[in-house]
Chain A
Amino acid sequence: MADERRTVVIETVDQLMHPQTRRDFLRLAALGGVAVLLPGLFAACADDEARAGAFTLDLGNEVGYLQYAHALEQLEAAFYLAAVRSPYAGITAAETAILADIRNHEVIHRESLAAILGENAVPDLAVSLGSIDFSVRTNASTGVLDAAKMFEDTGVGAYNGAGRFLTTPERLVLAGKIASVEARHAAVIRDLLDVTGLAFAGDDVVDENGLDLALDVRTEVLPAIDPFIVTAITVPS
Chain B
Amino acid sequence: MRDDQPPLASFEPEVPDRLVSRRDAIGRGASDSGGAAAALAAGSVPVLLAALARDSFAQAPTTIRGVLEFAYILESLEYEFYNAVLSAPAFAVVRGTLTQVETATLTQIRRHELAHVNLLRTTIGQLGGMPATLTAANFDFTAGNGSGAGPLAAATSDKAVLLATAQSLEDTGVRAYKGQVAKLMGNKDVLTMALQIHSVEARHAAKIRRMRGVKAWVTNDDPSFSPPAGAEAMIGAIYGGEQNTTHAEINFAGAAESFGGTAAVTEAFDEPMAYEQVLTVFNPFIAGGP
Contact = CB atoms under 8 A, between A and B. Distances in A.
Given A170-B248, A176-B181, A211-B197, 5 more contacts: A104-B260, A112-B247, A164-B192, A181-B217, A200-B210
Interface stretch (A29-37, A38-46, A135-143, A201-209): A201-209
Contact of B193 (A103, A182, A208, A211): A211
Q: Is the interface of B mostly helix, strand, loop or mixed?
A: helix
Nearest to B100: A197
A3 B126 CA distance: 51
Given A112-B247, A160-B192, A210-B112, A187 B269 contact: no
Question: Do most interface residues of chain A lie in helix, strand or loop, or is the interface mixed?
Answer: helix
Contact of B199 (A103, A115, A164, A180): A180
21 contacts: A1-B255, A3-B258, A104-B264, A107-B259, A108-B260, A112-B247, A112-B250, A163-B195, A177-B269, A179-B195, A181-B217, A181-B270, A183-B206, A185-B206, A187-B210, A188-B216, A207-B2, A208-B1, A209-B5, A210-B116, A212-B197
A12 to B, nearest CB: 26
Q: Which of A100, A156, A173, A206 has the most CB of B within 10 A?
A: A206
A174 interface: yes
Interface in B255-269: 255-260, 264-265, 267-269
Contacts of B69: none
Given A181-B270, A200-B207, A160 B196 contact: yes
Contacts of A186: 203
Interface string B13-57: 000000000000000000000000000000000000000000000
A76 B121 CA distance: 37
A26 interface: no
A196 B216 contact: no
Contacts of B118: 209
Interface of B: 1-2, 5, 8, 101-102, 104-105, 108-109, 111-116, 118-119, 174, 177-178, 181-182, 185, 188, 191-193, 195-207, 210, 215-217, 247-248, 250, 252, 255-260, 264-265, 267-272
A89 interface: no
Return the 4 tightest CB-CB contacts between A and B, nearest first: A210-B115, A169-B182, A183-B202, A104-B260
Contacts of B5: 207, 209, 211
Contact of A196 (B104, B112, B188, B248): B104
A176 B198 CA distance: 9
Given A160-B196, A211-B197, A105 B207 contact: no
A103 B259 contact: yes
Interface residues of A, number: 60
Contacts of B217: 101, 105, 181, 184
A173 B272 CA distance: 8
A201 B247 CA distance: 28
B247 A184 contact: no
Given A108-B255, A116-B248, A201-B204, A161 B267 contact: no
B247 A180 contact: no
A112 B256 CA distance: 10
Interface in A26-71: none
B247 A116 contact: yes
A155 B101 CA distance: 27
A130 to B, nearest CB: 25
A9 interface: no
Given A108-B265, A160-B192, A191 B210 contact: yes
B247 A174 contact: yes
B269 A181 contact: yes
Instruction: From A182, A209, A213, name the one whose CB has the most chain B CB atoms within 10 angstroms.
Output: A209
Nearest to B5: A207
A111 B121 CA distance: 40
Contacts of B248: 112, 116, 170, 174
A177 B112 contact: no
Contacts of A201: 108-109, 112, 200, 203-204, 207
A209 B182 contact: no
Contacts of B197: 210-212
A197 B210 contact: no
Given A174-B247, A210-B115, A111 B255 contact: yes
A154 B203 CA distance: 14
A180 to B, nearest CB: 4
Contact of B101 (A3, A159, A164, A196): A196
